[in-house]
Amino acid sequence: MTAASAVTVKKQHLIDPEICIRCNTCEESCPIDAITHDVNNYVVDDSICNDCMACVPPCPTGAIDNWIQVLSTNTYSVEEQFTWNELPEPQEVPEGVAQDMSEPVEVVPAEALSADEAALTNVANTPFTAAGASIPPWSAAHPYVNWYTHKNPVSATVVGNYRVTDSDTESDIHHIVLDFGDNPMPVLEGQSIAIFPPGNDANGRAHHARQYSIASPRDGERPGYNNLSITVKRVRAGHDSNPVDGVCSNYLCDLQKNDVVKVIGPFGSSFLMPNQPDANIVMICTGTGAAPMRAMTERCRRLTKENKFNGTLMLFFGARTERELPYFGPLMNLPKDFIDVNLALSRSADKPKKYVQDLIRERAHDVMNLLKDSKTCVYVCGLKGMEEGVLSALKDIVTESGRNWEDMHAELKAKGRLHFETY
């Protein structure tokens, strides 16, 4: 065989740097560490990627979903991809080299298939370790995504910015309301937007956009207005507790009324609420992970007022103290027969330390009754660390009720009834 005849055409898995919002979801969901990043881009290592597709459904923007035609002798290295500002054009194929136009096939989580289907599609051996569903509940409204991208961001005007934690506490959390004027911004509860902080990073490149969950319902922070809200915590320390000022969080928390911000989005097509009037929603959150829960709760509150919602809402909300729990006052004012609120306080002077998973265990009977109901969807948002704790609590209460956790977990994921958004 000559060298020329050994050249083949393939589709290389690449991430579109113009759409990617650098949220790290793909890197976290890749089971074989084929995805990596530098300060500039998230990239796929062609020598490792096996096209298993585990990273594709969780990506909120679809930036991950690109397969570009390349010659097998001329694939793009990780180092090359780090320098890109946009995806390359498909490579030209010299005469005599056969075109292989086959696309990778999207892998359905094995648990969504019967044993026969799984055997047929050969996905039983595919690692798919996501804790939650990659599809929305069946009744969710259809979301718009990527309405505004890096190439065509939209401007929004700050119409409100106030603190929602007590002023003398360490947790400086702000509720920020953005008005989009005449520009459409169609969003659903559970979706997010991303905002560009002004200025450049240490390498002289414009800062990447930072992603925030929307904290208001689809019809606006103020019903009928073209506005939405986000919940932002001022970051003063990194994960290792070293002092570091968050570039975007400080910019946002300092915004004044009438300031203008640059926005892209909306993003997210699975962390969406059911649209049935009799759906039940179990919400589990910590800190600013409350944002999508506020959006869903407010949506249901507005629907209830019009007699269009009569499902059950149960909330598990973790914070250090009551005074550091965002939206504490408004949350406590909600009627008890509208929402079942369970506060897990970890640093309260007069209460034992509790995490949300402790309260889920304490309310095992009621949580289990809801889980058994096919109309119940569960949403978890907040600190990455809570994911394991919440899953373990759910596993324990399901097992103690005499059911098989693996089966129920698989069903919750396959039906779009269990969702995680943790950072």
Residues that bind ligand NAP (CB under 6 A): 171, 212-213, 231-233, 286-289, 291, 318-320, 346-347, 355-356, 381-383, 385-386, 389, 421, 423
**Between 338 and 423, CB nearer to ligand NAP:** 423
Q: Which is nearer to ligand NAP, 356 or 367 (CB)?
A: 356
Cα(159)–Cα(375) distance, integer angstroms: 37
State the number of CA atoms in the 13 A half-sphere of 292 facing the CB: 32
Contact 91, 33 (CB under 8 A): no
CB of 344 to ligand NAP, least distance (A): 7
Smallest separation, CB 392 to ligand NAP (Å):
10
Instruction: Give the residue among 16, 22, 18, 17 at the shortest CA–CA distance from 247.
Output: 22
The position carrying tokens 């969950």 is: 213
d(CA 260, CA 179) in angstroms, rounded, equals 9
> Which residues on adjacent β-strands are paired with residue 414?
none
Residue 238 and residue 244 in contact, taking contact as beta carbons nearer than 8 Å: yes
* CA dist list (Å): 235 to 13, 77, 212: 34, 35, 14
Q: In angstroms, what is the minimal distance from the CB of 295 to ligand NAP?
A: 10
Please state the length of the chain. 423
CB nearer to ligand NAP: give 298 or 421.
421
Q: Which is nearer to ligand NAP, 30 or 164 (CB)?
A: 164
**110 vs 394, beta carbon nearer ligand NAP:** 394
Cβ-based nearer residue to ligand NAP, 81 or 161: 161
Q: What is the largest CA-CA distance in the chain?
A: 79
Q: Contact 267/145 with Cβ under 8 angstroms?
A: yes
Pick the closer one to ligand NAP by CB: 246 or 274.
246
Which of 253, 208, 262 lies closest to 233 in space, CA to CA?
253
Which residue, 243, 292, 237, is CA-closest to 270?
292
Residue 423 Cβ, how far from ligand NAP at the closest point, in Å? 3
Q: Which residue has the tokens 């995805």?
A: 35
Angle separating helix axes 386-400 and 364-372, nearest 10 degrees: 80
Q: How far is the CB of 122 from ligand NAP (least distance, A)?
A: 35
Is the dihedral angle over the CA atoms 367, 370, 371, 375 positive or is it negative? negative
Nearer to ligand NAP, 75 or 348 (CB): 348
* Residue number, 17 or 292, with CB nearest to ligand NAP: 292
* Angle, vertex CA 210, rays to CA 389 and CA 327, nearest 5: 60
CA distance 357 to 344: 9
Q: How far is the CB of 266 from ligand NAP (least distance, A)?
A: 13
Shortest gap between Cβ of 390 and ligand NAP (angstroms)? 7
Closest residue to ligand NAP: CB criterion: 287
- Say if residues 95 and 73 touch (Cβ distance below 8 Å): no
Q: Which is nearer to ligand NAP, 58 or 311 (CB)?
A: 58
Hunting for tokens 């947790």 — which residue is that? 171
Shortest spacing between CB 359 and ligand NAP, in angstroms: 10
